[in-house]
A and B are shown apart, each in its own frame.
Chain A
Amino acid sequence: MNPPHPRDGAPPAPLMKLGHCLFVLVPGALRDTAVRDLHDAVAARLAKEDGIRGLIIDVSALGLVDSYTARVLEQTAHVARSFGARAVLVGLQPEVATTLVELGIDLGSVETALNLERALARLKLRIVSEDPDGRP
């Protein structure tokens, strides 16, 4: 028998809004339903919240990205695009990136950045939102 999995009933991945940007921290080992839930949660949030122009997906905690996880990440990026937000993947571990290439998975349709700072720069977004008077 397999041991019970410690991550059962783990809370969903946190979605944080930073100015015009939505930041998602993808937790370590994800079971398939959790990957799917993450995708759905991002889609729901983007549909509900106005003015989000960027989606940053932090995958630095992922020790491996297999074809299923990669596909859902890709779909999440596509969904973001359909809501007018650019998706950027950050923090891909080097071994994981190598393996993805060997798996024949092309994340070419998803933008990637080395870290959060560069992702924000790429999106040309500021973390501080504009003040209520509309001044820059």
Chain B
Amino acid sequence: MVVRDAVAEALAAVMTPLLVRSIVATLPSSSEGEVGSLDMMAGYDLLRYVADGARIFSGPPSVDLLTTLHDLIGGSQSFRPSAQVLTVTSDHDVIAAQDAARRLVRALFKPTDCVRVVTAVSELARNIYMYAGTGEVRLNVSEADRTITFQVIASDRGPGIARLEEILAGTYHSRSGLGRGLLGAKTLLEGLEIQTGPQGTTIKGVKQARFADIMRVS
């Protein structure tokens, strides 16, 4: 079944046909895809359209309705994960990483959380190009049990981070600003894991949100 028809059917249970037609008419082209074919970015983007449409025409939609729509559009109850892999070798790539992170989380998190995530990615990407020269940033979003998870993995084969403990304790201050970004990323994300040594550095961080929370705010 096509997403557009599935949405129309679900909305028809709680709205008049005219309202359903008005809302469905605003949906983006991703709604022409098959149920279950959408990834997180497209799926949540579509949910936002439905939520905004419903709000304009008949008032804020209930979390229950959005949950039903989510499961319906997702097919197997969840959207496929979206991922991005970026090579970082210059300050351009820091911006590219920011843009990629912003596109991934825009429809998923509250505005403040979006800025937190994008800022953290920016810090990690900048650390790669400033201190390791080259590396990679992997971004991905996935969902399970009504929880949305953003994950960033920043890896490089640079010299490793000296004085990591001092940096994370916030007692290390350098003129170059080294350490400030890493400490910042630790604050902005949850459970930052850092593996560092002479062979390189890998940093993982996540940000999570409950489906109901992000849909209530939208």
Contact A64–B180 (Cβ < 8 Å): no
Q: Is B201 an interface residue (CB 8 A)?
A: no
Q: Is A31 an interface residue (CB 8 A)?
A: yes
A94 to B115, CA, bound (A): 10
Chain A CB within 10 Å, residue with most, of B86, B115, B183:
B115
Chain A 1-16 near chain B by CB (<8 Å), digits 1 or 0:
1110101100000000
Interface size classification for chain B: 20 to 34
Q: Is A104 an interface residue (CB 8 A)?
A: yes
Minimum CB–CB distance from A59 to chain B (whole Å) comes to: 13
Contact B126–A68 (Cβ < 8 Å): yes
Interface size classification for chain A: 20 to 34
Contact B96–A3 (Cβ < 8 Å): yes
Chain B 113-126 near chain A by CB (<8 Å), digits 1 or 0:
01110110011001
Q: Is A82 an interface residue (CB 8 A)?
A: no
- Known contacts A3-B96, A29-B99, A66-B122; A95/B181 CB under 8 A: no
- Known contacts A99-B116, A99-B188; A66/B96 CB under 8 A: no
Q: Chain A residues near B181 (CB, 8 Å)?
A: 66-68
Chain A 105-118 near chain B by CB (<8 Å), digits 1 or 0:
10000000000000
Chain A 78-97 near chain B by CB (<8 Å), digits 1 or 0:
00000000000000011110
- Known contacts A29-B99, A63-B118, A98-B115; A104/B187 CB under 8 A: yes
Q: Chain B residues near A65 (CB, 8 Å)?
A: 119
- Specify which of A5, A30, A67, A95 is in contact with B114 (CB 8 Å cutoff): A95
Contact A64–B187 (Cβ < 8 Å): no
Q: Is B21 an interface residue (CB 8 A)?
A: no
Contact B95–A7 (Cβ < 8 Å): yes
- Known contacts A3-B96, A98-B112, A103-B119; A67/B91 CB under 8 A: no
- Known contacts A32-B126, A95-B112, A103-B187; A66/B92 CB under 8 A: no
Closest B residue to A33 using CB positions: B91
A96 to B115, CA, bound (A): 7
- Specify which of B95, B112, B119, B180 is in contact with A104 (CB 8 Å cutoff): B180
Closest B residue to A72 using CB positions: B177
- Specify which of B93, B112, B115 is in contact with A63 (CB 8 Å cutoff): B115
A–B pairs, 15, beta carbons within 8 Å: A2-B87, A2-B93, A2-B96, A3-B96, A7-B95, A32-B91, A64-B98, A67-B180, A67-B184, A99-B115, A102-B184, A103-B180, A103-B184, A103-B187, A104-B170
- Interface residues, chain B, CB within 8 Å of chain A? 86-87, 91-96, 98-99, 102, 111-112, 114-116, 118-119, 122-123, 126, 170, 177, 180-181, 183-184, 187-188
